[in-house]
Amino acid sequence: MKKIVFVLILSLVHSLSLSAQDFTESLYSTYGNYKEPSLDKRRIKYAQLTPLIDRLRTNSKFTVKKVGESIEGRDLNLISLGKGGTPIFLWSQMHGDEPTATQAIFDILNFFDSNDFKKERKIILANTQLHFLPMVNPDGAEVFQRRNALGIDINRDALRLQSPEGRVLKRIRDSLDATFGFNLHDQSRYYNAERTPKPATISYLATAYNYEKDINEVRERAMKAIVYMNDVIQKYAPGQVGRYSDDFEPRAFGDNIAKWGTSLILIESGGYVNDREKQEIRKLNYVSILSALYGIATGAYKDIPIERYEEIPRNDRKLFDLKIENLTYVLNGEEYILDLGIQRQEIDDAHHDGFHYKSVIVDQGDLSTYYGYKTFDATGYTVVPPRITDQAVPSLSNFDRLMDYEKWVRAGFGYLRMLNIPGDKVQLPSKINLASEGFQLPDFKLVVGKNPTFFLEKGGKLTHAIINGFPLDLSQPLDNQDFGNALIYR
């Protein structure tokens, strides 16, 4: 009889596991049906959320409550649904330039507003109460900056509670006495899963609540839920999950919320190949958070051994956008072999709703323990300084009509002079930098902090151009190659 009962229990667990797996796979395959189309770029602003929140306000499935205002007077709204016994609080964009999960929250709300996945939605809403605060720092989001209008990091304001946004966050946590808290952030795209070349696309943390990093029941719940989410993400971004540092920070909200009794799950959205706008990472947030809510509602996470949490690789920060290896560099008549690590820094436009790239060399030397989103083995290649043309194009309109600017690039020119450069222009999608008539090209030297524009030579022939940190193969048509932008020098 005991054997029959044991077999039945195993069968039930197996069926629940299959059900959860099928749910996750369906979430991933049908995501396009729920993705909020009005939020298609990272630099989102409060005004874009207003019509979405107003729409939910008139929807009987949701309760929308104004819970405070930012320093500059933008509303903070809490969106709630579900009638179960497990309160879950999810908040995003404490840092104004970290919007990936904000977009995913509205995708999740679209999911709950749909008539699909009836069984799974019913299970989640019957067993949990969900509360979303989708943009904690709307003033920072307006100018795409980390800090709020007071100039402070809200995530370091849990003790003094100087910011109205921080006070709202504390008040909601306390009033809900949330069992779980999802603290949703973005991290640098230059984090990798430790000792691998793979980006830490998603990083998790069960936040410590003291310096000793003790594990109590509250933290243990978070660890188990994170392992559950990691198992989900591994299906779609294998090896691309990291574990964020659990060093205790006494001023941080996550650490204090864990101390106050809420199982705190930190999610950091990092980088993903060919996903600068983080739309694939947004999708992974959607899938993993909904899967976690389902796992919490069904209790499927509870029997996971917490030892598996430590198996998730730590976050490391050893990624470049472009890594050039084994490059021959001639200095003072001597040849040296260098690796270069190049990052393509984003420079916001005036309205903070777009950007251009200004690349820099961030490290050089022996970078054998580092990795690149793209790596170029330059063994046998020598650095050649770029040239600047004596000939000047009269104006930008003349340049636009030039179909043969490639001839300058192929001849080793990284800079093309122009007589009348518009004052509001700082970059162009062209594959050659523009320079004013009076611009003097400084003596060339590979230096950390400098813009990487130079050429590569092999066997006495120019083979590649590096223009503003973007490599171009000179043996191929330039127009067909991936490129960000060149720069304008005055």
Quote the Cα angle for 432-434-436, to 5°.
160
Cβ atoms of residues 218 and 261 within 8 Å: yes
Neighbours of 443 (CB within 10 A): 6
In the predicted model, residues of the chain with pLDDT beneath 70 are 1-18, 398-404
- The reply to whether 319-489 shares the fold of 22-313 is no
Task: List b or e across 55-71, with b for residues whose CB sees 16 or more CB atoms inside 10 angstroms.
Answer: ebeeeeebebeebbebb
CATH code, residues 22-313 = 3.40.630.10
Q: Please state, in angstroms and as integers, the Cα–Cα distance from residue 211 to each residue in 245, 259, 306, 309, 325, following that order.
A: 13, 11, 20, 19, 41
How far apart CA 374 and CA 268 sit, in angstroms, is 23
How far apart CA 463 and CA 45 sit, in angstroms, is 44
How far apart CA 259 and CA 210 sit, in angstroms, is 8
Locate the domains of the chain by residue range.
Answer: 22-313, 319-489
DSSP letters, 193-204, are: ETTSSSB-SEEE
User: At a CB cut-off of 8 Å and minimum separation 6, what does 334 contact?
Assistant: none
Neighbours of 150 (CB within 10 A): 17
Q: Which CATH architecture has domain 319-489?
A: Roll (2.30)
- Tokens read off for 240: 């691309």
Supply the pLDDT for residue 399: 67
Which residue is listed with tokens 């040296």?
336
Supply the pLDDT for residue 405: 77
Q: End-to-end CA distance of the chain, in Å?
A: 86
The 10s digit of each residue's pLDDT in 221-250 is 999 999 999 999 999 999 999 999 999 999
H/E run at residue 230? helix 217-233
Supply the pLDDT for residue 7: 39
Burial (CB count within 10 angstroms: exposed 0-12, middle 13-18, buried 19+), residue 389: middle
User: What pTM does this model have?
Assistant: 0.93
Closest CA to 284 of 204, 198, 190: 204
Taking each helix axis from N to C terminus, what angle separates 118-127 and 279-298, rounded to the nearest 10 degrees? Answer: 60
Q: Is 304 helix (H, G, I), strand (E, B) or coil?
A: coil
Helix/strand/coil percentages in the chain, nearest 5:
30, 30, 40
Backbone phi, then psi, for 241, in 5-degree steps?
-120, 135
Residue type, 270: G
Return the bridge partners of 132, or none.
79, 90
